Amino acid sequence: MSSTTHPVTDYSHKLATNRLGLWLFIVSDAFVFGGLMVSRFYLLGDRRPDLDSTLGLIVTAVLLISSFFMNRAEVSIAHGDRKGMVINALVTLVLGVGFLAGVVGVEWQLAPFGPADGPEGAVFYMMTGMHAFHVLTGVLFLIVIVRNGLKGKYTAERHWGVEAAANYWHFVDVVWIFFYPALYLIGTV
């Protein structure tokens, strides 16, 4: 008697395993960001860095809008709309690059302190730097799913890559929802 696996069962098993692995990664990564939040409040207490709050609001809005388009990309492919998935993923990618440009390209240049200038600099550059690294990783992930989407590799039934990218992107957005008030709103300058 030969042992064979059914392709649908095999894919279902891989999908369940991949989902578990991604969620374990997200939970473990959440501890890193949680440690940064604890550091922020331990080192700065009720003070906050002197940052441009308007710019902070703009980059936050850009990131939250990107999450909407990432959701649209995932819903599109779940309904078999490859073109909609690619377009929405591209919009998400562009907005992610815009967020990076706003934080790393503008806010880092405007900050009245450097990374080594006391606790404000250390906290600000560590929190935004770690978050920017994760956004950059998400942008690279989006490049891969857009390329694969253009090649027709996703279907309504099999689109794990898009689902994974969406979950990761939403996680990074949720982290910023906590970082934004901690850096720009809570405390006195």
Domain residue limits, the chain: 7-185
**pLDDT tens profile 123-165:** 999 999 999 999 999 999 999 999 999 999 999 999 999 999 9
**Which range is least confidently modeled, 5-19, 40-54, 59-73, 171-185?**
5-19
DSSP state of 36: H
CATH 3.40.50.10160 given to domain 7-185 = no
pLDDT given for residue 1 in this prediction: 47
Nearest to 88 by CA among 79, 76, 99: 76
Task: Give the mean pLDDT of the chain.
Answer: 94
